[in-house]
């Protein structure tokens, strides 16, 4: 039977969770939910029972921290010299998997998502691996828990297997009204989980992004020869376009009827910001990892991450207070959605060091 190779793209700045998440130590390196594990560690542990190999693709600046956090062969940590978004990262890992393991099935899973129901995930993954033999690309689609406007949606089509459906279309993040219609019509959230054969993915990439595919195959072919790898990466990587797998592969393949989806209801969250993180922590009155250090009153919906000092919050609904150690953030759940712009202001203030 073909090997299953799990690919974990460990990137993304997580600015909506600043100052917990920083450029120097992004979201996936943190134990945001107080589970005792970082998001990356939980992702590796979730995939380990299923995967013959795990490949982690991360920024060169974070490779050491990744190696410290997870017990994985260092040859399986792939460092990008510069961020190019998901397609080059997954494409490189897929090409290396094909080179090393031949006719493998690969699946890529973000390093910074959480899943409560591991059995439901395992079930969906099993079905997706089966479907990867009959469709070029398979995704696991999340059963929506609300009309969220922060995710792209997947329009499912006819049934292929008991638990698998064809994908009609991947949609952009919708407006509220449209999101409500999507949910009513049985659309699923796109959680960016893609399963395929290594062969199928690289062939699809040859078709839809031939230059990128050629570059990645050249790098992969000499990946395990260090001096040639460094030369090839230095020569080719900088010119790769920054692009996402959704645009480059998932959308055109769906249009060609080559994508399947396995719906899954498994307590998934991308912890995209403080409201989502608060939901994981629970507590309608107060969401915090350290209730001993928080004294909140008349502040329903408050989200408080204290540092080494206690925090007193009074009279601010949906307050978000984060003691980041070297900086303190005070905003609201609504305000926290503007953190990317706020951080622009912090940079303009001459405090790039805090980002």
| Coil vs helix vs strand at 169 | strand
* Binding pattern for the stretch 285-304 against its own copies, x by CB under 8 A and - elsewhere: ----------x-xx------
Question: What are the two backbone dihedrals, phi and then psi, of residue 325, each rounded to the nearest 5 degrees?
Answer: 90, -65
Measured between alpha carbons, how far is 304 from 287 in angstroms, rounded to an integer?
A: 6
Beta bridge partners of 41: none
Asked if residue 116 lies in contact with residue 264, where contact means CB atoms within 8 angstroms, the answer is no
Measured between alpha carbons, how far is 128 from 197 in angstroms, rounded to an integer?
A: 11
Q: Is 283 in the site for its own copies (CB under 8 A)?
A: no
State in angstroms the smallest separation of the CB of 275 from its own copies: 13
Neighbouring CB atoms inside 10 A of 102's CB total 11
State in angstroms the smallest separation of the CB of 328 from its own copies: 5
Q: Is 319 in the site for its own copies (CB under 8 A)?
A: yes
Q: Is 161 in the site for its own copies (CB under 8 A)?
A: no
Q: Which long-range contacts (CB under 8 A, 24 or more apart) does 62-68 make?
A: 62/10, 62/25, 62/26, 62/29, 65/25, 65/29, 66/10, 66/29, 66/40
Q: Which residues in 178-207 contact its own copies (CB under 8 A)?
A: none
* Binding pattern for the stretch 242-281 against its own copies, x by CB under 8 A and - elsewhere: ----------------------------------------
- Within 13 A of 261's CA, how many CA atoms are on the CB side? 29
State in angstroms the smallest separation of the CB of 12 from its own copies: 21
Q: Which residues in 12-31 contact its own copies (CB under 8 A)?
A: 19
Sign of CA dihedral 340, 245, 186, 168: positive
Q: Is 125 in the site for its own copies (CB under 8 A)?
A: no
Point out which span in 83-91, 171-179, 277-285, 307-315 binds its own copies (CB under 8 A). Answer: 307-315
Q: Is 95 in the site for its own copies (CB under 8 A)?
A: no
Point out which span in 1-9, 110-118, 145-153, 327-335 binds its own copies (CB under 8 A). Answer: 327-335
Using CB under 8 A as the criterion, which residues of the chain lie in contact with its own copies when the complex forms? Answer: 19, 295, 297-298, 306, 309-316, 319, 321, 323, 325-332, 334-336, 338-339, 341-342, 345-346, 349, 351, 354
């Amino acid at each position: 039977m073909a090997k299953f190779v799990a690919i974990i793209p460990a990137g993304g700045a997580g600015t909506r969770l600043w100052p917990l998440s920083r450029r120097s130590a992004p979201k996936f390196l943190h134990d945001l939910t107080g589970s005792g594990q970082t998001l990356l560690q939980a992702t590796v542990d979730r995939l380990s029972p299923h995967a013959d190999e795990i490949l982690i693709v991360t920024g060169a600046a974070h490779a050491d921290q990744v190696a410290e956090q997870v017990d994985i062969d260092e040859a399986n940590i792939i460092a990008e010299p510069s961020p190019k978004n998901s397609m080059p990262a997954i494409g490189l890992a897929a090409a290396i998997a094909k080179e090393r393991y031949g006719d493998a099935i690969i699946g890529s899973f973000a390093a910074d998502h959480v899943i409560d129901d591991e059995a439901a995930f395992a079930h969906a993954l099993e079905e997706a691996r089966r479907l990867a033999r009959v469709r070029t690309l398979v995704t696991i689609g999340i059963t929506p828990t609300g009309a969220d406007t922060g995710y792209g949606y997947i329009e499912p089509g006819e049934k292929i297997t008991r638990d698998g459906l064809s994908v009609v279309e991947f949609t952009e993040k919708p407006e509220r009204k449209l999101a409500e219609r999507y949910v009513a019509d049985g659309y699923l959230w796109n959680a960016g989980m893609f399963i395929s054969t290594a062969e199928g993915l690289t062939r699809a990439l040859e078709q839809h992004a031939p230059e990128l595919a050629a570059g990645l195959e050249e790098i992969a072919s000499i990946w395990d020869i260090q001096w040639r790898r460094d030369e090839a990466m230095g020569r080719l990587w900088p010119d790769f376009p920054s692009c996402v797998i959704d645009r480059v592969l998932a959308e055109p393949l769906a249009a060609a009827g080559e994508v399947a989806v396995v719906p899954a209801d498994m307590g998934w969250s991308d912890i995209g910001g403080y409201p989502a993180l608060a939901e994981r922590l629970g507590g309608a009155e107060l969401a915090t990892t350290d209730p001993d250090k928080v004294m909140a009153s008349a502040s329903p919906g408050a989200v408080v991450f204290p540092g080494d000092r206690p925090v007193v919050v009074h009279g601010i609904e949906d307050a978000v207070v984060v003691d980041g150690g070297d900086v303190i953030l005070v905003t609201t759940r609504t305000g926290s959605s503007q953190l990317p712009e706020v951080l622009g202001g912090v940079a303009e203030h001459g405090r790039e060091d805090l980002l």
